[in-house]
């Protein structure tokens, strides 16, 4: 876990992203790339330009540029404050004897495309849970991280995490996406004190699948306990979150979108429920 991508947009949730980045970096002696993407104001012209005069379009671009500049300044101030609070050195290369390095990166374009490009060279991409003041940005970032990078994503709750997670639940149903999430989470699992492999009793799972993962983890000297539970009227996603909190989990690991995105948008699904309701960090793999 040597390279962490922390995209921030200047919203309040940027605090949670930066805080998590430094908590993780402290544990793994990592490098943090703090990325701010400035949307290209001209990209809105095809949508807004029809029926508008040239002067109106110029005014719209100027307004967008002003808003982008304010967001950039806010995001950079958050970054500078975080640097002051932690023992880190700004560098684009590893430095001998330095535990944590950081780098401020700026780029312009569509947020999802830029985050995807940088995310493909990160060991973990940190994305805040969508809330009112960052909903569009976070949704774009989540889609980019999960579907366009081939790398794991950590979904962050609204409240910043204060310490490295030592009690972890792994949501396991035997899916390919779950397997990728487990592979990505191994560095965290090796440092955990308590691990539960939790499986919800649904038509898609049966009790032995959790025990199979336990056998696999033992090859990495990772000890865990299997928990098979009934959702009891809750949706699968809400049940997994509820069971994790009941077990005292400080982080959850799960596969993201084991069904198609379209099915989840129309019918709902575990991933969407977790993204909307997570109160602890969630490592997702797709």
- Scored b (16 or more CB within 10 A) or e, 38-71 reads bbebeeeeeeeeeeeeeeebeebbeebeeebeeb
Considering the domain architecture, whether residues 141 and 17 belong to the same structural domain is answered as yes
Considering the domain architecture, whether residues 50 and 109 belong to the same structural domain is answered as yes
Considering the domain architecture, whether residues 152 and 171 belong to the same structural domain is answered as no
In the prediction, which pLDDT does 228 show? 94
Considering the domain architecture, whether residues 198 and 281 belong to the same structural domain is answered as yes
- Give the pTM: 0.91
Considering the domain architecture, whether residues 49 and 100 belong to the same structural domain is answered as yes
Structural domain count, the chain: 2
What are the pLDDT tens digits along the chain (286 aa)? 999 999 999 999 999 999 999 999 999 999 999 999 998 766 656 555 556 666 766 777 777 788 889 999 999 999 999 999 998 999 999 999 999 999 999 999 999 999 999 999 999 999 999 998 889 999 999 999 999 999 999 999 999 998 999 999 999 999 999 999 999 999 999 999 999 999 999 877 867 799 999 999 999 999 999 999 999 889 999 999 999 999 999 999 999 987 665 555 544 588 999 999 999 999 999 9
- 56 located within any domain: yes
Return left, alpha or beta for 228; rule: phi > 0 is left, psi -120 to 50 is alpha, else beta.
Answer: beta
Considering the domain architecture, whether residues 35 and 61 belong to the same structural domain is answered as yes
Note whether 127 and 138 are within 8 A (CB): yes
In the prediction, which pLDDT does 265 show? 54
- 161 located within any domain: no
- 186 located within any domain: yes
Query: CB under 8 Å, gap of 24 or more: what pairs does 203-206 form?
Result: 204/173, 205/173, 205/174
Domain end position, chosen among 89, 121, 156: 156
- 162 located within any domain: no
Considering the domain architecture, whether residues 175 and 217 belong to the same structural domain is answered as yes
How far is Cα 33 from Cα 91, in angstroms, rounded to an integer?
Answer: 10
In the prediction, which pLDDT does 257 show? 86
Considering the domain architecture, whether residues 7 and 118 belong to the same structural domain is answered as yes
- 267 located within any domain: yes
Considering the domain architecture, whether residues 143 and 46 belong to the same structural domain is answered as yes
Note whether 256 and 153 are within 8 A (CB): yes
Considering the domain architecture, whether residues 93 and 119 belong to the same structural domain is answered as yes
Domain end position, chosen among 109, 137, 156: 156
Considering the domain architecture, whether residues 225 and 143 belong to the same structural domain is answered as no
Domain end position, chosen among 101, 135, 156: 156
CATH number assigned to the domain comprising residue 194: 3.40.50.620
Note whether 174 and 146 are within 8 A (CB): no
Q: Which domain holds residue 211?
A: 167-285
- 252 located within any domain: yes
- 60 located within any domain: yes
Considering the domain architecture, whether residues 213 and 141 belong to the same structural domain is answered as no
Note whether 72 and 36 are within 8 A (CB): yes
Angstrom CA distances, 155 to 20, 127, 128, 151, 210, stand at 10, 5, 6, 13, 23
């Amino acid at each position: 876990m040597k390279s962490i991508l922390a995209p921030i947009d200047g919203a309040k949730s940027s605090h949670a992203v930066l805080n998590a980045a430094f908590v993780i970096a402290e544990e793994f002696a990592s490098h943090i790339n703090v990325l701010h993407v400035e949307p290209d104001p001209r990209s809105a012209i095809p949508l807004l330009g029809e029926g508008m005069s040239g002067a109106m379009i110029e005014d719209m671009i100027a307004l967008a540029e002003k808003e982008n500049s304010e967001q950039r300044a806010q995001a950079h101030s958050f970054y500078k404050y975080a640097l002051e609070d932690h023992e880190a050195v700004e560098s684009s290369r590893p430095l001998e004897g330095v535990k944590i390095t950081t780098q401020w990166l700026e780029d312009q374009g569509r947020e999802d495309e830029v985050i995807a490009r940088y995310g493909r060279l990160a060991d973990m991409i940190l994305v805040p849970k969508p809330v009112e003041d960052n909903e569009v940005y976070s949704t774009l970032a989540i889609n980019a991280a999960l579907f366009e990078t081939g790398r794991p994503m950590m979904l962050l709750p609204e409240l910043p995490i204060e310490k490295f997670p030592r009690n972890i639940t792994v949501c396991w149903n035997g899916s390919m996406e779950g397997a990728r999430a487990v592979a990505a989470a191994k560095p965290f699992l090796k440092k955990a004190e308590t691990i539960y492999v939790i499986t919800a009793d649904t038509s898609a799972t049966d009790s032995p699948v959790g025990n199979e993962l336990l056998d696999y983890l033992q090859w990495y000297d990772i000890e865990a306990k299997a928990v098979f539970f009934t959702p009891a009227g809750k949706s699968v996603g809400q049940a997994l979150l509820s069971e994790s909190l009941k077990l005292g989990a400080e982080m959850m690991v799960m596969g993201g979108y084991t069904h198609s995105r379209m099915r989840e948008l129309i019918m709902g699904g575990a991933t969407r429920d977790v993204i909307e309701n997570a109160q602890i960090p969630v490592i997702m793999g797709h």
